[in-house]
Amino acid sequence: MKNFLDLARAGPDLVAELVTLAGRLQRHPEPDALRGKVLGLLFMNPSLRTLASFQSGMARLGGDSFVISPGSSWNLEYLPDIPMTGAAAEHVREAIPVLASYADVLGVRAFAGGKDLVEDLSEPVFSAIEGLCSVPLINMESAANHPCQALADWKTMDDEQIPKANGRFVLSWANHPKPLPLAVPAAAAHMAAMRGMDVTVLRPQGFGLPSDLMQRIHTAANQSGGSVTETEDREQAMDGAHVLYAKSWSATDVYGDAQADRDLRAGLTGWTVESDWFDGADPSCIFMHCLPVRREVVVTGQVLEGPRSRVIRQARNRMFAQMAVLYRLLADKGD
């Protein structure tokens, strides 16, 4: 494994190995495995879980880390061939090789622009930087992907003994005051399909996942023996579900149009996950969400703190999943 950018590119065997390794590092700490190694973390967008779990995970393997957060006072350009007369003081074509020259592995976060769907789906920042990094590169959430979250979620489902074949995974859109990126829903549905589950994408009209992303999910399902369907019928979707994974995302039919997006979601206040959503689900059905989550908008506090919720375990598994990625990239390159 040279980089960790996408579960699809890693492939099911490596993903399974990483999940196993994450569990091993959780049970049997290796506090000296990455002694002397340095992890660079570049956040073009803010972070709580990702920063804390990467820094803590690297420390628990004996390594060190540094954090770079461009903010209000400076930005990084990623578009090619543009005279840089604006707010961006530096281009990723310099910044990435420089940071890579200080680090043994580099994590980068770069959210979607949220204006142009085709552009966001093309992963403009990661496309721009992938060839520039002389050390292993980790996707800490890109425009349309979040493989660290997906790996942690896979481990969480394994920990909870959620079935793979015939396991029913419902990714449900949920209400939210703002249009949010597609990275987590795309990564979660793809991961579940790759895990061999029967995936249902439950969402209102106007919020269908883009065909490119659905195609990726279908491909993963075809390879794993899983399946994928889309619906706006909650009852049908939740019937026998083993997992309800909630997440809000932008109205894809009016992507980039803030007013139209607001108008669409104004009528969707019923998409706050409540206890009765689970009425037809498998009795053991769990509730998942990547966090951060807006209480009483995305989901009620009752569900979040109820017996079905696994959101804190998911977040905790971010650390172990990422430790496995770091370990595999730096300590043990595998066969």
Query: Which spans of this chain sit near its own copies (rule: CB under 8 A)?
Result: 29, 31, 35-36, 38, 40, 46, 48-49, 51-53, 55-57, 59-60, 64, 66, 68, 70-74, 77, 80-85, 88-91, 93-95, 97-99, 101-103, 177, 291-297, 301, 304-305, 311-312, 315-316, 319
| Residue whose structure tokens are 């992907």 | 145
CB of 156 to its own copies, least distance (A): 12
Which residue lies nearer to its own copies by CB, 82 or 165?
Answer: 82
CB of 46 to its own copies, least distance (A): 5
Which residue lies nearer to its own copies by CB, 59 or 214?
Answer: 59
Residues ≥6 apart with Cβ < 8 Å to 332: none
Which residue lies nearer to its own copies by CB, 121 or 188?
Answer: 188
Which residue lies nearer to its own copies by CB, 133 or 281?
Answer: 133
CB of 60 to its own copies, least distance (A): 7
Torsion, Cα of 65, 186, 78, 258 (10° steps): -120
Q: What is the DSSP string of 49-118?
A: HHHHHHHHHHHHTT-EEEEE---SS-EEE-STT----SSEEEEHHHHHHHHHHH-SEEEEE----SS-HH
Count of other CB atoms within 10 angstroms of residue 225: 13
Which residue lies nearer to its own copies by CB, 8 or 42?
Answer: 42
For residue 291, the number of C-alpha atoms closer than 13 Å in the C-beta half-sphere is 17
Task: Determine contact, residues 131/170, Cβ cutoff 8 Å.
Answer: no
CB of 319 to its own copies, least distance (A): 5
3-class DSSP string for 263-299: HHHHCCCCCCECHHHHCCCCCCCEEECCCCCCECCCE
Task: Determine contact, residues 54/141, Cβ cutoff 8 Å.
Answer: no
Which residue lies nearer to its own copies by CB, 35 or 115?
Answer: 35
Residues ≥6 apart with Cβ < 8 Å to 29: 60
Task: Determine contact, residues 311/293, Cβ cutoff 8 Å.
Answer: yes
CB of 305 to its own copies, least distance (A): 7
Q: What amino acid occupies position 149?
A: Q
Which residue lies nearer to its own copies by CB, 96 or 202?
Answer: 96
CB of 224 to its own copies, least distance (A): 30
Measured in residues, the chain has a length of 335
CB of 54 to its own copies, least distance (A): 9
